[in-house]
Structure formats: structure tokens, C-alpha cells
Amino acid sequence: MGKRLLPPVYEPKEVEAKWYRFWEEGKFFRGEVDPSRRPFCIVMPPPNVTGELHMGHALDNTLQDVLIRWRRMQGYTTLWVPGTDHAGIATQARVEAELAKEGLSRHDLGREKFLERVWQWKEKYGNTITMQLRRLGASCDWDRERFTMDEGCSRAVKEVFIRLYEEGLIYRGDYIVNWCPHCQTVISDIEVEHKETPGKLYYIRYPLTEGGFITIATTRPETMLGDTAVAVNPKDPRYREFIGKKAILPLVGRELPIIADEYVDMEFGSGALKVTPAHDPHDFEIGQRHHLPAVQVIGFDARMTAEAGERYRGLDRWEARRRVVEDLRAQGLLEKEEDIVHAVGHCYRCGEVVEPMISKQWFVRMKPLAEPAIAAVKEGRIRFIPERFTKIYLNWVENIKDWCISRQLWWGHRIPVWHCADCGQSTAARNGLDRCPHCGSSRVEQDPDVLDTWFSSALWPFSTLGWPEATPELKFFYPTSVLVTGRDIIFFWVARMIFMGLKFMGDVPFREVFIHGLVLDALGRKMSKSLGNGVDPLEVIESHGADSLRFMLVTGNTPGNDLRFHFERLDGARNFINKLWNASRFVLMNLDEGESLPRLGEVRLELVDRWIISRLQDVVERVTAYLEEYELGEAARLLYEFIWDEFCDWYIEMAKLRLYGSDPEARRTAQVVLKSVLGTCLKLLHPFIPFVTEEMWHQLEPESAPLIVQSWPAVEEKRKDAAAEAAVGILQEVVRAVRHLRAEMQVPPGKRATVILVTPEAEKMGLLEEHRRIVESLSAGELVLKETLLEKPVNAAHAVAAGVEIYLPLEGLIDVEKERARLQKELKELEEELARVRRKLDNPSFLAKAPAEVVAKERAKEEELEKNRLSLEKLLSFLEGV
């Protein structure tokens, strides 16, 4: 009979391209509305249309794909909705950079022509990341791919805005916002990254009109030019008599009232606060409470305005700081400076230091939207995994502020409000306006701003399913089943989707939120271009294959925790796939082409068959339970251990005796079990490593449907066999003990040895006798079985395993003198190294100066060396008596 053969080496490139094309062309990813089956739906967190696949995307989408493939095999009708985000700031910046190469700006083109260029750029480059996700193996329904500015999503955005506007939940007003001078737009509070930055605390004397001074402390002396008051805490006894008096603003000469406000921190600086309502959010609130004017001294270009005075007008804010400090010092008003490290807000997109500014912007009133979102989580209608993120979510939502949703960009959803130049009224409209509905004037113009990118992505779970139309997909798949996302966008995105889903669908957008951490480099640092420590997933796929990358990411994942990227772990994942490939190749080589095998229930199973099948039932049960609880890493780890250790290293080796023996019935039974167990393993592994498993399944079951649509394995209770597991466990313990003795005594691997096994227990003796060939084969030994020993063997290594005494006579196996000399030399070298480590640990200077992790590493080394020293001494002691 011919043999079914796999190539000797697994080549991921050929296999991956072939099978992804097969799956996509065969519509295996298609999510169908089928009321007879349970739905399972995930909406992909839409990556930026400017983006390329990075390790964060690779982790996030691998986890989603594992869940989708698993549920698909379980018989759910699954839908994984892919899509991309228009990424207002990032995309506009990219296109403006391209224009700059031509010596042009967006203003040279005008709004309409510029947007044409952005759409052209999107069509040319915007699909890069979706093509890369295919390389990863993402089984999305690409026929349903969405874009946050496609026609359907744009309609949903406009509808949501107008409904909120008509309910009074969207308003426009002058408030202090976070302004990015580089991106030239406002950004929301949660888009500001606060970085610990070295700075100075300047103590400045403000003269009093009645004589004397009051000293304030500030980190931003350039903003003092816009001060309109000095504030102190009414409970501060140092300043009680100052309240109601006036100070004179240095360098400007403006009189400032000294006011009392409980916001002032008595412990910070001097305990007196300069109040600059136009350039600090807390000062803005103080100004609102005390009806203070706001003087803007820094412009939207981050240069000083005319309000700052002629000496400073037009200066960059940092240059203005230097000049203000010089002038204060010259006038004797700079009391002192202190070096500090403080949190400074930076734009999360470009890294520029943001500038608080008063600006007319659009806002959403969040409190009315937050209340149902709080209740939904507290009542358990949405579950966070891990549970600790529930508290983080609730803490933010319960203290939420209004959301600034306008951005000073051209690329994005333009705010659907028209302003009348004659009567000053504003009107929201779905289809545009030619005339003002209030006064009839034709002098109406649409608001120039666009909506925050996160406004459209907040609607993603229902806009992608067809809302505001009542589509069959919306009715069937909403609420979606689970959201898989990183811990860094709980506030940006997760909370806002919950707000909008409850408001416009009357139900939560998803039942569960599976939070994962970030992918860090091997040193635990966030991957970034500035550090140059990023790892390109596509390069990894080229070198190791997509399955290796996926398996490494999943096995390193624990819900909510960050993951460190180690190339050693990547190599380990590839080694596992190669092990699986070689095991499959071995099974296929031992199946006879054209010969149909009986079913598992039609053959007489031996002890080791019952053992591996019983162990497999446990694995099926536990892997399924782990997946239900989103412990994907534990599920993958369990499969790794079972396949590598129990199936490959134990069962296949045991089965070889029958495969290569003369009994055709025993050979057939081994073939049936090997094929059955391998087939089940491929099913269990498919969600994690889909390409290689599909290839092996096709070779194993060429007449069957593809693995992607095979049924997920179910536990067969009748196949559980505790007695078989216990019996084989005894055989394994004995074999391990013999192998350990051989390794300890440096017995050459190919040298067969006499092994004496002693047990008075008839049951164990019968077990060892019946399965003598297995023990001998796996331990490279010739067994001598005895119930008792009248006299212990001379010159024999000894161990006890599973209640069985084991003796390994050394005569003829090793050169005792040579082995003793080797061990003595090794012990001497080890003791010298141990002494060196201990000298270092006894050195007070080393302990005081070395980083804690270095000291800990040396202590661990000392412990390991001491352990090895004792082991060597024990061996030498034994050999001294041989």
C-alpha cells in the first residue's frame, strides 16, 4: 500500500497563501442571518486607515480570530465585522505632508480639492492594514467591511448628532479646551498623555497695592501675563488678612483682586495661586465662580498675543518663558527657583505639549448618557474580563465631564449645523440648508469643524450592522457578543460605545468586554518608533509563519496583563508547530493509502489507547472551559503540553511497537487511535494555528469538509478511564526514574542496560510484566522483575518511583574512574564560581550600588550553584563506593 506523505519540512508561505485564498473564495467567513442557530458577533476595533499592522493589532486580532473560529466550529452563525477608521488627525497630517513635498498647503487647494486628495490617498493606501490582517489569518467577513466615513456610517453619524442636538444633549460654547499647536485642533481630555517631565517651580513676588508682597509659585511663568486674580485658600491662616486686597501683576502693572477659593492647595508652592482663566482648566473654573475676565496671552500658534504686551508679542511660548524669567530676575521679583518633575500634557498623536485655551467648541452633555451606562455594568448586563476593569470603568464614568466633539480639521464628518450670518441662529439639518429657516436669509454657512473621530467609532457596533435602517443583521446580531480590545482605550472607545448603544438601540452594544494588555519589548518597554524597539509582525510572519506568531501571542496572554515579546518564545512556538508537523507526518506515513480504517468503537483498545483517549477527554473539557472564560493562553498552554508530552513523546513512542510489529490487528488499532487523537488535536488547535492545522487535516481527512467548518470536539464521558490513567501513570513514573538514573550516571543513550524492578505488589508486578516491552523500549533497558531482593545489587544506582524500587547496575555501562574524575573537575569549577558569587554578595558596596534586579539575579545564581554542588557531592559519594 502507498503512504500518505507530508513534505519533510513545513513551509508556512506556501500553505498560508493557499488556504487563506481557499477560505476567502469559498465564503467560509460569511456571517449569515440564520434564526435557527445562535448568533456570535464581534466588531473589529477599526484600525486607522493610515495604519500598518503592529504587534498590538496582531495580538488584538489574533484573540478575536481564536474566538470566532472556535464559535464557528461550535455551530454558531458567526459574524466578525472588519473595518477601518478615517483617523481624522493622522490622515489629514499624512496628506498634508505629501502636499508639502509639492510646495503646497491644504489652504492652497481649498477644502473641496483637499478632500478629493484625501479620498485619493485613502483609495491608494487605505487598504494596507486590511491586506496585512489577511496575512495574519483573520477570518473576517470581508464582504461586510466598513469604513467610518462610508455612506452608511456617515448617515448614522449625522442621525445621532441631530437627535442629540434636538434633545439639547449637544451644545456649543466657549470653554477651556486642550489645544494642540502642531495638529492645530482641539483634543479631548482623554487624548492628552501626561508625561513626567523635568521642569522648574518659579516663586514670584507680586507687589501689594498697600505695600509688601504676596509670593506665588508657578511652573508656567509666561502665562502670568494673562493673570486676572490671585487666589488663596480661605482656611489658610497665612493669607486670611490678604483676602479682598489687591496685588499688582509684575511686568504688566494690572491690578489683581486677591480672592478666596477652596480649590487652592495650601501645601503646593507658597500656598498662593496665580489665576489665569484663559490658560488653565482649573483657573478657568475659578474664573467662572468669581466672574473673572479671561485674557488670552498665548495664541493658537503657540506664540504670544498682543495681550501679552509689546515686549513679548510674537515670541514662541518657550522663548517668552525665558524672557519673563529674565525680566523678573532683573526687577528683583524672582524669589527662587526649584527643580521639579511634574506631569505635562502632550498630544497623544504628535507628542506636542498641549496648550489649554478658551475656544468656541461643540460638546456632548455626558451625565444623562452616563447614568444608563453605569446601571448596565452594575446590573451585570455587561461583564468586563478581567473583572478589575469594572471598577476602572465605573470610576471614570461616574466622574465624567462633557465631551468636546469638534475638531478644527477638514477630514472627517463635518458638523451638520448651518449658521445664519444675518439672524445669528444655528440650525441642524440632515440634508443641508440653502436658506435660514428662522429668517429666510440665504447667507447660511455650514459649521467648518468636523466631529471627533471617536464620535463615529462610538456608533460602530450598530452603524456597521445597518442602523438607522432596521436591517435583518441589526435585529439578529445586536447586541454583539464580545468586544476584544486593549486596556488603553476603555475611555476613548469602550465607554462611549456603551453610552451610544444604550441611547440609540435601547440595549448594550456587547455582552462582554475582553480586555487585553499591551505588547511590550523584552525589557518591558512600550514599543515605539522613537525607541526603535518595535517588531514588525509581517517580518515575523515572513521568517516564522503566521501560526508561530499567533501561538506565541496567545500563549503569552493573560487577560488584562501586558505581554513581553521574546524571540525565544517565538522560536518555541515554531518548534511546537514543527513537532506537530512531524507527528502528523509520522501518523500519515503509517496509514495505508486507500485502506479504510474501522471506527474507534470497532477496535479492541489496549491500556495505552484507553489512557491517551481518556487524557484527551480531559483536554477537550478543560480547553473548552478555558475558552469560555477567555483564558486563551491557558487553553493554548494545555494543548501544547498534551500534544508535545503525552501524545508525541509518550503515546507515539508506545504505538511504534505495534505499528512495526507482526500483529495486523494490533497495528490497525494503533492506526485508528493515532488518527482519531491527531484529528481531535487538529480541531482543538485550529482556532489558534489555523493554517498548519488545515493543511494537516486535508492530508489526514482528504474526503472531509475543511477543518474550518468541522464540529468542535465534545467530551465523551464513556471514554474517561481513571484506571487506565493511573496504570499508565505508574509506567511513566518508572520510565522517568530509569531515564533520570541513566542521565545522572552519564550512561550513553544508545547503550542498553539491565534494569531491576522490585515490587511485592502483585497488581504492579502484573502491570509491569504485561507492558514490559513498553518500559524496555522507552528506557533502553532489559527488565528484571522481582517481588523481593535478598541482597541489593552491587555498584547499582538506585531510585524509587510509584512504589517500585529501581536498580541500575553500572558495571559495563560507564568507566567509573573516568566519570569520577569528570565529576571532581566539574565540582571544583562549580565551587570556584560559587565562591566568586558569594564574594560579590558579601561586598557591601555591590549591594548598595547594584540595581535590585542584578542583586536578585546573583542570589538566584548562588542558590542554583549550591543546589548543583550538593547534587555533585552526592554523586561523587556514590561513586566512591563503586
3-state secondary structure string across 668-693: HHHHHHHHHHHHHHHHHHCCCCHHHH
First to last CA, the chain: 54
Q: Which of 791, 809, 827 is the last residue of a domain?
A: 809
- Reference 87, options 160, 193, 185; nearest CA is 185
> Is residue 508 scored above 50 in pLDDT?
yes
Residue 215 sits in the same domain as residue 352:
yes
Question: What is the DSSP annotation of 608-624?
Answer: HHHHHHHHHHHHHHHHH
What is the CATH number for 743?
3.30.2320
Structure pTM?
0.85
Which of the four pLDDT bands, split at 50, 70 and 90, describes residue 151? Answer: very high
What is the CATH number for 824?
1.10.287.380
Q: Which domain holds residue 598?
A: 564-707
Which of the four pLDDT bands, split at 50, 70 and 90, describes residue 188? Answer: confident
| 494 within a domain of the structure (yes/no) | no
- Reference 461, options 672, 66, 160, 28; nearest CA is 160
Please report, in range form, the residues annotated as the binding site: 529
Confidence at residue 1, expressed as pLDDT on a 0 to 100 scale: 38
Residue 685 sits in the same domain as residue 603:
yes
Q: Tell how strand 480-486 and strand 170-180 pair up.
A: unpaired
Q: Which of 758, 780, 809 is the last residue of a domain?
A: 809
Confidence at residue 261, expressed as pLDDT on a 0 to 100 scale: 95
> What backbone torsions phi and psi does residue 244 show, to the nearest 5 degrees?
95, -15
| 119 within a domain of the structure (yes/no) | no
**Number of C-alpha atoms within 13 angstroms, CB side, residue 730?**
23
Asked whether the beta carbons of 293 and 278 are under 8 A apart, the reply is no
Confidence at residue 64, expressed as pLDDT on a 0 to 100 scale: 98
Residue 60 CA to residue 44 CA, distance in Å, equals 9
Which of these ranges, 467-476, 625-634, 870-879, has the smallest mean pLDDT?
870-879
| 273 within a domain of the structure (yes/no) | yes
In this prediction, residues 367-371 reach a mean pLDDT of 96
| 143 within a domain of the structure (yes/no) | no
| 410 within a domain of the structure (yes/no) | no
Residue 211 sits in the same domain as residue 335:
yes
Residue 200 sits in the same domain as residue 345:
yes
> Is residue 479 scored above 90 in pLDDT?
yes
Residue 248 sits in the same domain as residue 330:
yes
Confidence at residue 62, expressed as pLDDT on a 0 to 100 scale: 98
Residue 289 sits in the same domain as residue 195:
yes
- Reference 505, options 462, 472, 454, 469; nearest CA is 462
Tens digit of each residue's pLDDT (9 = 90 or more) over 375-391: 999 999 999 999 999 99
- Helix/strand/coil for 827: helix
Residue 261 sits in the same domain as residue 289:
yes
Confidence at residue 814, expressed as pLDDT on a 0 to 100 scale: 64
- Residue 335 carries which DSSP code? E
Q: How far is CA 681 from the centre of its chain?
A: 27
| 55 within a domain of the structure (yes/no) | no
Which of the four pLDDT bands, split at 50, 70 and 90, describes residue 355? Answer: very high
Radius of gyration of the chain (CA): 36
Confidence at residue 640, expressed as pLDDT on a 0 to 100 scale: 98
> What backbone torsions phi and psi does residue 450 show, to the nearest 5 degrees?
-115, 165
Residue 589 sits in the same domain as residue 655:
yes
Q: Which grid coordinates are listed for 576?
A: 511546537
Tens digit of each residue's pLDDT (9 = 90 or more) over 715-755: 999 999 999 999 999 999 999 999 998 888 888 887 888 99
Cβ neighbourhood burial of 785 (10 Å; 0-12, 13-18, 19+): middle
Q: Which run of H or E residues covers position 317?
A: helix 317-330
> What backbone torsions phi and psi does residue 95 show, to the nearest 5 degrees?
-70, -35
Torsion angle (degrees, nearest 10) of CA 425, 426, 432, 435: 0
In this prediction, residues 92-100 reach a mean pLDDT of 91
Upstream peptide bond of 479 is cis (omega within 30 degrees of 0): yes
Which of the four pLDDT bands, split at 50, 70 and 90, describes residue 4? Answer: low
Q: How far is CA 183 from CA 186, 349, 355, 451, 510, in A?
A: 8, 8, 12, 15, 34
Residue 870 sits in the same domain as residue 805:
no
> Is residue 816 scored above 70 in pLDDT?
no
Q: Where are the alpha helices (DSSP H) in 702-783?
A: 722-744, 762-770, 772-779
Please report, in range form, the residues annotated as the binding site for ATP: 529
Tens digit of each residue's pLDDT (9 = 90 or more) over 480-504: 999 999 888 888 899 999 999 999 9
Asked whether the beta carbons of 247 and 208 are under 8 A apart, the reply is yes
Which of the four pLDDT bands, split at 50, 70 and 90, describes residue 879? Answer: low
| 751 within a domain of the structure (yes/no) | yes
Question: What does pLDDT average to over the chain?
Answer: 92
* Of residues 358 and 798, more confidently modeled: 358
| 579 within a domain of the structure (yes/no) | yes
Task: Give the number of domains in the chain.
Answer: 4
> Is residue 50 scored above 90 in pLDDT?
no
Confidence at residue 3, expressed as pLDDT on a 0 to 100 scale: 54
Residue 766 sits in the same domain as residue 674:
no
Q: Which of 356, 386, 406 is the last residue of a domain?
A: 356
Confidence at residue 829, expressed as pLDDT on a 0 to 100 scale: 85
Residue 769 sits in the same domain as residue 674:
no
**Close Cβ partners of 407 (under 8 Å, ≥ 6 residues apart):** 88, 89, 185, 186, 187, 449, 450, 451, 452, 453
Residue 239 sits in the same domain as residue 350:
yes
Which of the four pLDDT bands, split at 50, 70 and 90, describes residue 878? Answer: low
Confidence at residue 726, expressed as pLDDT on a 0 to 100 scale: 97
* Of residues 875 and 228, more confidently modeled: 228
Which of the four pLDDT bands, split at 50, 70 and 90, describes residue 2? Answer: very low
